[in-house]
Amino acid sequence: MKASIRASLAGYVALAYTLVIVYASLQPFAGWRMPPPEVLGFLTASWPRYVTANDIALNIAAYLPLGALLFFTLRPPLSAAFAFVLATALAALLSLALESVQMFLPTRIASNVDLLSNSAGAALGALAAMLLTLWNNPLATLRQRMVRAGPLGDCGLMIIALWIVIQFQPSPVAFGSGNLRDALGIAPMFMHSSQAYLLAEAAVVALAVTAIGLVISLLLQTRRYTLRVMIGTLLLTAAAKSVAAMAITRTANWLQWLTPGVAGGMLAGAIGVALLVWLAPATRAVLAMLCVAAGIAFINLMPDNPYQTPPPFMSSLQPTHLWYCCSGSRARARRASCVEPPPFHLKVHSMSRSCVDLDHLRDALRRFAAARDWEQFHTPKNLAMALAVEAAELLEHFQWLTAAQSACLDARRKRAVADEIADVLLYLTRLADVLGIDALAAARRKIRINARKYPVRRAKGNARKYSEL
């Protein structure tokens, strides 16, 4: 009976986790096309030019839980060795299927390296689960002692596990989910300001923490463990957000997601759970659903934070002209019109945010070139020549203008200049990537060099070269 309960729970969670992997592997689900005749050609392709340790580690980590869950699902009727082999094979087949489907998506890249790392992750997860069954499983004992038996406990644990897993997906607000603004064209209900955004962010986090806390109280056999289990869940969630910040969004500060609004919302949610946990189970279930609905409403009606949200061209690529991917959507334009000027202390963009944005742009250009098999043309010589051409096209817009005229461009010419600036940035980013140069690190180093060459006391108001100062 215990084995069947464990297998049932593992099967539910494995199914849910598989859906998460499918979503992460195929989103944004746009631009479907017919692939080349050799759909499985990526299996015998040469080693990709751009492979990082972070990518391989993330692929392994993503399939670790799946291998373990499949093993626990198969273990009761099968022997440990056969369950290990079958769990690894099923996860590898899932990875193969998803990599093959990615051939139909221009914004995704099918890779034999991804297939190998995913399969290795599943094998490691299944092996860890098999080793865990050789001794008394402390997790199963803990589940039997604390969590309600039957479908209620299984579904509750599945919801908590999925809530932790989805924190790896970058979102406008920490712990926020259900963002449908782009899909439904929803415009924000109020203008962006530091105070309004702080309150809205705290509200989203408080509602999410309250909802998950009430779910925890419903699946436990006694309410006295609710706060302790909720704190443990929040710690795991915070760890997931921090890992995502370092490995996925690649921020310089792994606690960048922990803003004052998020901290205040977590505290408010914990207090709310402590007060509501004593209500009847039916009332707590209704309140949990209301908190989820209210959180989704908040996340869709609040404006984007322009100082934390990556530009549109970094979130997705379209299978059209290189610059079309930067155009954004009408929904984003409506949201941008609702941004009021920020207070002075918010006008400074951090270098870490710029670093994240430039990494996203670099990765987007890699995918764009690889999907079209343009890497063969992107030699340093060709990219440098293209960069010079685009810089000349930028210069052309200012030809014959006076200094005053160049500072007062009309809207049409300013848009054209913006296009040329974008082309220069795109080619410059691509050139640095092909040569393995960290552009931001080089820029910081150059700023330090220029600071030594042009000290303020000698160069202020002076346009002469440093050797003439």
For 360-377, what is the mean pLDDT? 85
Q: How would DSSP label each residue in 260-292? A: HHHHHHHHHHHHHHHHHTTS-HHHHHHHHHHHH
Return the pLDDT at 428: 92
Is residue 457 a contact partner of residue 469, using CB atoms and an 8 Å limit? no
Q: Where are the domains of the chain?
A: 1-146, 147-310+329-340, 349-468
Of 170, 171, 168, the C-alpha closest to 240 is 168
Cα 147 to Cα 157: distance, rounded to the nearest angstrom: 9
Q: Quick one: pLDDT band at residue 340, thresholds 50, 70, 90?
A: very low
Those residues whose C-beta lies under 8 Å from the C-beta of residue 118, and which sit 6 or more positions away, are 59, 60, 62, 63, 91, 92, 95
Cα 208 to Cα 218: distance, rounded to the nearest angstrom: 16
Higher model confidence: residue 322 or residue 460? 460
Q: How would DSSP label each residue in 297-311? A: HHHHHSPP-TTTSPP
Cα 293 to Cα 432: distance, rounded to the nearest angstrom: 45
Return the pLDDT at 318: 36
Percent over 70 (pLDDT), the chain: 77
Is residue 98 a contact partner of residue 125, using CB atoms and an 8 Å limit? no
Cα 36 to Cα 31: distance, rounded to the nearest angstrom: 15
For 170-198, what is the mean pLDDT? 72
Q: Quick one: pLDDT band at residue 460, thresholds 50, 70, 90?
A: confident
- Reported residue count of the chain is 469
| Cα-based angle 457, 462, 463 (whole degrees, multiple of 5) | 135
Percent over 90 (pLDDT), the chain: 17
Return the pLDDT at 45: 74
Return the pLDDT at 51: 62
325 SS3 class: helix
Quick one: tokens of 322? 């290189």
For 169-190, what is the mean pLDDT? 72
Q: What is the DSSP letter of 51?
A: -
Q: Quick one: pLDDT band at residue 339, thresholds 50, 70, 90?
A: very low
Is residue 63 a contact partner of residue 95, using CB atoms and an 8 Å limit? yes
Position 39 pLDDT exceeds 80:
no
Burial of 11 (0-12, 13-18, 19+ CB in 10 A): middle
Cα 113 to Cα 45: distance, rounded to the nearest angstrom: 10
CATH number belonging to domain 349-468:
1.10.287.1080
